[in-house]
Amino acid sequence: MERAPTDWPRILRPRSVALVGASGREGNPMARPQAWLRDRGFTGRVLPVNPRYDELGGLPCYAALADVPGPVDLVLALVPADRAVATVEDAGRVGAAAVVVFASGFAEVGDEGLALQHALTAAAARAGVRVLGPNCQGLYVARSRLFATFTAAGERPLEGTSGIAYVGQSGAIGGAVLDVAASRGLDLTAWVSTGNQADVDVTEVARVLVTDPDVRVLAMYAEALPRPDDYVRLAAEACAAGVALVVLHSGRSESGRRAALSHTGAMLPDTAAFDLVSREHGVVLVDDVEDLLAAATLLRTQARPAGRRVAAVTSSGGAGSLAADRCADLGLDVPELAEETREKLSLRIPAFGAVANPVDVTAQLFNEGGGAFGEVCALVRGDPSVDAVLVILTMLVGDTAHALAVDLAGTVAEAPPGSPPLAVVWMAGEDATVEARAVLREAGIPVFSSLAVATRVLAAVAPRPADPASGDRVDLPDDGWAALGALGVPRPRSVLVRRAAEAQDAVHDVGGTAVLKAVASGLEHKTDAGAVRLAVVGKDAEREAADLLDSVPGAEAVLVQEMVPPGVELLVSVDGGRGGWPPVLTVGRGGTETELHHDVAHALAPASPTTARTLLDSLRCRPLLDGHRGAPPADVEAAVDAIVRISRAAAGRELEVNPLVVGKTGAVAVDVLLAHPEDRP
């Protein structure tokens, strides 16, 4: 029986919160939720439940949930792990929408805890309630003043709302994000810790938060994404809603590595589909907690860059040079400014400064005052070759710093909507620039802690070309060569023989010179196994076939193939979709040394011809297709056509062609591997 839709308003904006196991011990972290709900603006009913008390913190205390008068929307389980199941069952009896289980001692501690966690989710399903946790730190919602958490970060005043929401698995990391954001004057709009995700997971919560009109940016920390299809929906929904989604995904190197059934299996990153889905929908991917919050801070008030071109404006030529180096390392361009822009800048910047990019205004400009620095930044920001502006300030402190911040804030406020984003790196002590930083923060201008963080964040938020899936999939027969036929991929003429005596006639049938390949169950890398004979002519065919049948373990037949003229060897494969993710197309340098070169590119499958060309163009071996050291150019369009056809392999199958030989005319698949879902470890 399907569970009824989750009543999220009763969870995020409850009219009543029951605290089962409420504590009266001073200093106990589990006493925090009641005190915060009682004292910090929550307008609903706060209902402590503990049979040891008649009154707790000035509120009536009930012996059991069943004794609580009136409806209960949300239950906080402030009890040990062994009482969590009973609390969930009791919550179902009083009609609660959800239970937050704070206790640890579940799947994170081993088999016994895992069994208890399974019992918890089973009880929740029977009771018709949702469970957040276990082993979580709860949630905080600014609008409803819902402090359903015990995180020490909740000791902050948390009186404002920044438009940034956060959801993540780790309570410790979540607490750090909440605390650091508040310390920077960015009280989060909503904050949710999902813990073990026994029931509710990060993507489900995130899909709810992106529909909240108060949320402009959603920052997400994920260790596991148990339902990839929900992440795909989240990415699409955030994009459609205009909510910037910033994701830090940890544990990616251990997210499901499997034994390699193919060359592709050895080279395809576990996160390829996640990365490609994210790119398709404009998700900002970061690699550090600091970058997660920094990117969210940038995107909450300013437009996302239209491209990857950065202009640096600095008070120090050395700092500008460092910024240019960091940009180059991260694939950000530092373009030359337009001549008109440089001419206007030269009227404002001392002659010993620099009007190129990076723009060095020199310290003298700040002595002049009168908004000169703001004018420079406005000119640079308005240059048509600029997608983002990075302002780098060195030892500007005190009154000078404050005046500069006011000037810069005014400049940003006067800029037309959609102007390139502007961010600041201030290389001076925070204690000497407190007021200036506050002015910039109020103006929506992020101040980064270092050039490294600033350039990483700009690289993360700047767009990259997306390769959306395109076209229909084709159902495949069980044989690899027949599968290529169904896809319309060119193959060499082939004859399968089961007796060595048949080989000579087969060689004649395919053109007089052939390649012989042993056929055996589970034989995937034939060259490595010594199961291939090249350039075999008719008179040698029987001997070579007999040798293959005798020497290759399990050989049951020999495939006699037409000898294909030499050309550029490519790897083309579709992984079929792993763990619920959409299928991924891989194109790279093929042949027996494909893992050695590791020259591959990926896109979502099926692919369009444009995507196929983009993948080819991104390879280091691409010049080989144009003709290298006197070799004739290869038929790139034939390669594109073959890639597109292979990419249409039906989901659930891993199809690899290695190599696809691209000659002067045409592209031919000379070896194929078709793996079935049941073949995967």
Per-residue pLDDT tens over the stretch 217-263? 999 999 888 899 999 999 999 999 999 999 999 865 543 334 334 44
The span from the CA of 216 to the CA of 358, in Å, is: 31
Q: Is the Cβ–Cβ distance between 84 and 101 less than 8 Å? A: yes
Q: Determine the average pLDDT of the residues in 131-154.
A: 96
Nearby residues of 398 by Cβ (< 8 Å), 6 or more positions away? 432
Span of 83-92, 265-274, 479-488, 597-606 with lowest mean pLDDT: 265-274
In tens, the pLDDT along 334-369 reads 999 999 999 999 998 888 888 989 999 887 777 666
With CA atoms as reference, report the closest residue to 536 among 528, 526, 547.
Answer: 547
| Domain segments of the chain as ranges | 1-136, 151-302, 305-461, 493-562, 568-679
Span of 133-142, 145-154, 464-473 with lowest mean pLDDT: 464-473
pLDDT at 665: 94
For the stretch 501-527, what's the b/e string if a residue is b when 16 or more beta carbons lie within 10 angstroms of its beta carbon?
ebbbebbeebeeebbbbbbbeebbebe
The span from the CA of 355 to the CA of 349, in Å, is: 7
In tens, the pLDDT along 89-127 reads 999 999 999 999 999 999 999 999 999 999 999 999 999
% of the chain residues with pLDDT over 90: 72
Q: Determine the average pLDDT of the residues in 302-331.
A: 92
Helices 636-647 and 480-487 cross at an angle (nearest 10°) of: 110
The span from the CA of 183 to the CA of 153, in Å, is: 10
**How, if at all, do strands 672-675 and 654-662 pair?**
antiparallel
**How, if at all, do strands 55-56 and 59-60 pair?**
antiparallel
Among the four given CATH numbers 3.40.50.261, 3.30.499.10, 1.10.3720.10, 2.60.40.10, the one describing domain 305-461: 3.40.50.261
* Helix locations, 501-554, DSSP H: 503-509, 538-551
pLDDT at 648: 94
pLDDT at 51: 96
CA atoms within 13 A on the CB side of 345: 27
Q: Is 662 exposed, middle or buried (0-12, 13-18, 19+ CB in 10 A)?
A: buried
* Helix locations, 150-250, DSSP H: 171-183, 202-209, 228-241
Tell me how crowded residue 674 is: count the other CB atoms within 10 A of its CB: 21
- The CA-based dihedral angle spanning residues 502, 503, 507, 510, taken in that order and rounded to the nearest 10 degrees: 60
Q: Is the Cβ–Cβ distance between 20 and 49 less than 8 Å? A: yes
pLDDT at 145: 97
Element (H, E) at 654: strand 654-662
**Is the per-residue pLDDT at 298 higher than 60?**
yes
Model confidence, pTM: 0.88
Q: Determine the average pLDDT of the residues in 385-414.
A: 90
The span from the CA of 643 to the CA of 261, in Å, is: 20
pLDDT at 530: 87
pLDDT at 179: 95
The span from the CA of 113 to the CA of 96, in Å, is: 25
Q: 130 pairs with which residues across the strands?
A: 98
* Helix locations, 350-397, DSSP H: 364-368, 372-381
Q: Determine the average pLDDT of the residues in 558-581.
A: 90
Question: pLDDT grade, residue 681 (50/70/90)?
Answer: very low
Element (H, E) at 484: helix 480-487
**Is the per-residue pLDDT at 68 higher than 90?**
yes
- The answer to whether 151-302 and 493-562 have equal CATH topology is no
Coil, strand or helix: which one is 170? coil
Q: 100 pairs with which residues across the strands?
A: 76, 132
DSSP 494: E
Q: Determine the average pLDDT of the residues in 280-296.
A: 94
**Is the per-residue pLDDT at 268 higher than 60?**
no
Q: Is the Cβ–Cβ distance between 380 and 312 less than 8 Å? A: no
CATH, domain range 493-562: 3.30.1490.20
With CA atoms as reference, report the closest residue to 312 among 194, 212, 225, 393.
Answer: 393
Question: pLDDT grade, residue 471 (50/70/90)?
Answer: confident
Q: Determine the average pLDDT of the residues in 418-439.
A: 90
The residue behind tokens 């071109």 is: 309
**How, if at all, do strands 359-360 and 600-604 pair?**
unpaired
Phi, psi of 3 (to 5 degrees): -75, 145
Q: Determine the average pLDDT of the residues in 187-197.
A: 96
With CA atoms as reference, report the closest residue to 615 among 327, 606, 671.
Answer: 606
**Is the per-residue pLDDT at 679 higher than 80?**
no
User: Looking only at Cα atoms, what is the longest distance across the chain?
Assistant: 101
Coil, strand or helix: which one is 5? coil
CATH, domain range 151-302: 3.40.50.261
With CA atoms as reference, report the closest residue to 225 among 291, 158, 295, 277.
Answer: 277
Q: Is the Cβ–Cβ distance between 55 and 61 less than 8 Å? A: yes
**How, if at all, do strands 557-562 and 494-497 pair?**
antiparallel
Coil, strand or helix: which one is 298? helix
The fold of 568-679 is D-amino Acid Aminotransferase; Chain A, domain 1 (3.30.470)
The fold of 1-136 is Rossmann fold (3.40.50)
pLDDT at 578: 76
